[in-house]
Each structure stands twice: as structure tokens, then as C-alpha cells.
């Protein structure tokens, strides 16, 4: 999902330049405040573990309803740390959707465990709870791996089915870790992503709905008792006095400059979130008759980090949109089980919904600074391309 190339502005259109994600417009709105925050860090000089880290952690927990937040170096670090803390290890099966960014699979493999790919729901693009049950049965029947954990992904910002997956995880004794790297701002049954699973990893990669000016992430916990261990792992496994190694860890910390930037971005997050909802509402209204926009669970609201839909003649539409100055992206044209690094973990039983969606998915520009005219122009272009 790290679409750095897509952050740049596209060419001029009838309604001005349309960016896939517009970080410049956001920066214009809050530049003075960000500069003041960065200056404060330069003044106190605590580039690692500065006061902004704890300030951010407290605000992230407050915003999401989580018991605690642990700031991390990246979303990937935020996935690896809770897996290590839960003791996930060689010989363990970790169930993940086959339709995700490669970081979900990498995090599992870096702990020594084995990813077991689960199919998605072709409407929500998120892990299919019924297929999860079938894959758990497969693993048990084969008897080679121990079912240990499940990592649903909130694809494009839409919360996964934590109700059903939570029940399965509890019944099967699986550690439930939410990959909310794309999910920040999503809600289910009135709760925020971050408070929908015992542990949630999120990413603050610059292009995410809440993005830093570099790499950053966080783990959110419903349970205070795990936090000390997570903090230790993110600091090379040392104790809080920084004297002894108490477990295996690595450098998984967020640096203070990123926390300073995130504090100012968090201050405008609700406003931006509403603007994203308004953009998505126009897209949904205009495009539901000609494509299949991502569906959200009843009781769920996407954070709309991205706006994606399934479209007939997807590749031709993308080409035509590009010619009309509308940048698009395909997340993901290759499912994880077909990538060279992971194909040895491809299951014997197929993953039909994953493969179907990979063939016709397209992501349209999504950011809070798109004007209604621009969104309508994009919809006009999609309509024209399909005519």
C-alpha cells in the first residue's frame, strides 16, 4: 500500500489538479502549527523518547477508546511486537487474509510462524469469517502447525468482521491482532478501530488517513497488562531502567519528530474524517450503479483511508482516467499467495474471492481536500470510460 509514487499531483483537469492523496493541501492548512511543534523538539533536543511521544500515546488511547497506545517506528513494527509478546513462534499458524499489503505476511514470517491465507468476502474485501473457520479446520486436520493467531485487516479503512472473528478466536484460543494499518478512523458498533480487538496495529505512513512525515505506527491495546512488554520489545527488549535485556526485542520506537507532526495532524483528524465521508458519499451515490464500491458491515463506518471499487474493464478505465488527469491505483493486483516470497504458503484449496477482486479492484483519489466538483468530475470520467 505504500504508494509513494501516487502521492504526487496529476496533470491539470477541468476542475484543477487532482491528487490521489493531497499532502500539500493539508500541509498548507497546518504548516505554522507543525513548524512550532518541530521547533519545540529542536529546542528540547530529546529526539528519542521526547515528551511528544507520551503526549501522542495518551491522545491516541483517548481518541480510540483503547486502554493504552504504544508509539512505534512503523505499522510493521506495530504488528511484529504484539506477535512476539504473545509468544507466536516457529510451528505456529497465523491466519491472515490473502488480499492485503505484503507487510501482514512479512510480520508473521519474521516471527518464525507460518502465514495461512484466508479468503475474503467479495463485497467487503475483508477476511471472510466462514472461510477462516474452514482454514482452521484444514490446519488442524493436517496436524503440522498449531493454530496460534489471526490477523484480520481493515482494508481501505473498513473495519473487518471483529464480531464473528472475535468469537472464532475466543473459541479456538487464537490471539486476535487487528491489522488496522489502513483502519485508523474506522468504527464498528460505535467503537473505533483500536478498541475492536485485544491488540491493534496501525500505520502512520505519510499516505495513511493519519500520516506522519516519515515512518511511524502504533499499537493500541484493550489490556494494560501487555503494555510494559510491548514497550520493552520496541526498545531492544530492555527493562524500563534500560539496564537489562529481559526479552528479545529490536529498535521499534517512533522518533520524537514524527510524534510532533502527528499531534498536529490528530488535532484536525475528525474534521478530515468528515470530509472523507462526504467524498465517499458522492462516490457511492454516483458509482454504485456502474461498479461495486466496497461494502461496509452493518454498524460499520470506514475511515476511508482509500476509496476502492470493483469495475468492469478496470485496466482500460484506469488508463482513460489517467488520460483525463485522474490518478488511480490498484491495491492489489497480485494476491499474497501469488507473490514469489509467499507462494510456498499458498493453500491447496483455492481463494476464489481474493482472485476475483484482485482482477477488478481500483482505487480512486481519496483525501479530505477534494472538492465536490472534483469528485463529480472523477465520477463523470468513470462513467465516460465505461460508456
For ligand PLP, the binding residues (CB under 6 A) are 1-2, 74-76, 100-101, 103-104, 153, 179, 181-182, 203, 205, 215, 217
Residues 196/199/200/204 CA torsion (nearest 10 deg): 140
Non-local (6+) Cβ contacts of 344 within 8 A are: none
CB of 281 to ligand PLP, least distance (A): 24
- Choose between 74 and 111: whose C-beta lies nearer to ligand PLP: 74
Cα–Cα distances (Å) from 83 to 95, 175, 223, in that order, read 12, 8, 15
Non-local (6+) Cβ contacts of 150 within 8 A are: 94, 95, 96, 127, 132, 165, 168, 169, 174, 175, 176, 177
- Choose between 52 and 179: whose C-beta lies nearer to ligand PLP: 179
CB of 174 to ligand PLP, least distance (A): 19
CB of 101 to ligand PLP, least distance (A): 4
- Choose between 183 and 293: whose C-beta lies nearer to ligand PLP: 183
CB of 180 to ligand PLP, least distance (A): 8
Peptide bond into 24 cis (omega under 30): no
- Choose between 1 and 10: whose C-beta lies nearer to ligand PLP: 1
Non-local (6+) Cβ contacts of 273 within 8 A are: 185, 209, 303, 304, 368
Residues 251/56/277/123 CA torsion (nearest 10 deg): 30
CB of 97 to ligand PLP, least distance (A): 9
Closest residue to ligand PLP: CB criterion: 75
CB of 294 to ligand PLP, least distance (A): 14
- Choose between 20 and 205: whose C-beta lies nearer to ligand PLP: 205
CB of 77 to ligand PLP, least distance (A): 7
Cα angle 272, 274, 277 (rounded to 5 degrees) comes to: 115
- Choose between 70 and 181: whose C-beta lies nearer to ligand PLP: 181
- Choose between 71 and 382: whose C-beta lies nearer to ligand PLP: 71
Q: Are 248 and 229 in contact (CB under 8 A)?
A: no
- Choose between 2 and 238: whose C-beta lies nearer to ligand PLP: 2
Cα–Cα distances (Å) from 67 to 39, 199, 222, 244, 266, in that order, read 30, 10, 5, 27, 18
Strands (E), the chain: 68-72, 92-97, 114-118, 146-150, 175-179, 187-188, 191-192, 199-203, 217-221, 292-293, 300-301, 307-310, 361-364
CB of 222 to ligand PLP, least distance (A): 20
Q: Are 154 and 187 in contact (CB under 8 A)?
A: no
CB of 297 to ligand PLP, least distance (A): 18
- Choose between 156 and 192: whose C-beta lies nearer to ligand PLP: 156
Residue 267's nearest CA partner among 10, 76, 30 is 30
Amino acid at each position: 500500500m505504500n504508494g509513494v509514487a501516487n502521492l504526487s499531483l496529476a496533470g491539470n483537469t477541468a476542475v484543477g489538479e487532482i491528487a490521489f492523496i493531497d499532502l500539500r493541501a493539508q500541509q498548507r492548512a497546518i504548516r505554522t502549527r507543525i513548524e512550532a511543534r518541530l521547533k519545540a523538539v529542536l529546542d528540547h533536543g530529546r529526539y528519542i523518547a521526547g515528551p511528544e511521544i507520551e503526549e501522542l500515546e495518551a491522545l491516541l488511547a483517548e481518541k480510540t477508546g483503547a486502554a493504552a497506545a504504544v508509539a512505534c517506528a512503523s505499522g510493521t513494527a506495530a504488528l511484529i511486537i504484539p506477535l512476539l509478546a504473545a509468544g507466536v513462534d516457529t510451528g505456529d499458524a497465523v491466519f491472515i487474509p490473502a488480499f492485503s499489503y505484503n507487510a501482514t505476511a512479512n510480520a508473521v514470517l519474521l516471527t518464525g510462524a507460518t502465514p495461512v491465507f484466508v479468503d475474503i468476502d467479495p463485497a467487503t474485501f475483508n477476511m471472510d469469517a466462514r472461510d477462516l473457520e474452514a482454514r482452521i479446520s484444514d490446519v488442524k486436520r493436517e496436524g503440522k502447525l498449531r493454530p496460534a493467531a489471526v490477523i484480520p485487516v481493515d482494508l481501505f479503512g473498513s473495519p473487518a468482521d471483529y464480531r464473528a472473528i472475535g468469537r472464532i478466536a475466543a473459541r479456538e484460543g487464537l490471539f486476535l491482532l487487528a491489522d488496522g494499518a489502513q483502519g485508523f478512523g474506522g468504527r464498528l458498533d460505535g467503537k473505533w478501530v483500536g478498541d475492536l480487538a485485544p491488540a491493534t496495529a496501525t500505520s502512520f505512513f505519510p499516505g495513511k488517513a493519519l500520516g506522519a512525515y516519515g515512518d511511524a505506527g502504533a499499537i493500541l491495546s484493550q489490556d494494560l497488562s501487555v503494555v510494559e512488554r510491548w514497550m520493552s520489545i520496541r526498545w531492544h527488549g530492555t527493562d524500563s531502567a534500560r539496564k537489562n535485556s529481559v526479552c528479545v526485542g529490536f529498535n521499534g520506537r517512533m522518533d520524537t519528530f514524527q510524534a510532533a507532526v502527528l499531534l498536529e495532524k490528530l488535532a484536525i483528524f475528525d474534521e478530515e474524517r468528515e470530509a472523507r465521508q462526504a467524498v465517499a458519499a458522492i462516490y457511492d451515490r454516483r458509482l454504485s450503479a456502474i461498479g461495486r464500491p466496497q461494502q461496509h458491515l452493518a454498524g460499520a463506518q470506514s475511515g476511508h483511508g482509500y476509496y476502492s471499487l470493483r469495475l468492469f474493464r478496470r485496466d482500460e478505465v484506469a488508463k482513460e482516467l489517467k488520460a483525463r488527469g485522474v490518478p488511480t491505483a490498484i491495491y492489489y493486483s497480485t494476491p499474497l499467495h501469488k507473490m514469489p516470497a509467499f507462494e510456498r504458503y499458498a493453500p491447496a484449496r483455492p481463494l476464489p474471492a481474493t482472485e476475483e477482486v484482485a482482477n477488478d479492484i481500483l482505487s480512486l483519489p481519496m483525501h479530505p481536500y477534494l472538492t465536490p466538483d472534483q469528485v463529480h468530475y472523477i465520477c463523470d470520467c468513470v462513467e465516460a470510460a465505461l460508456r
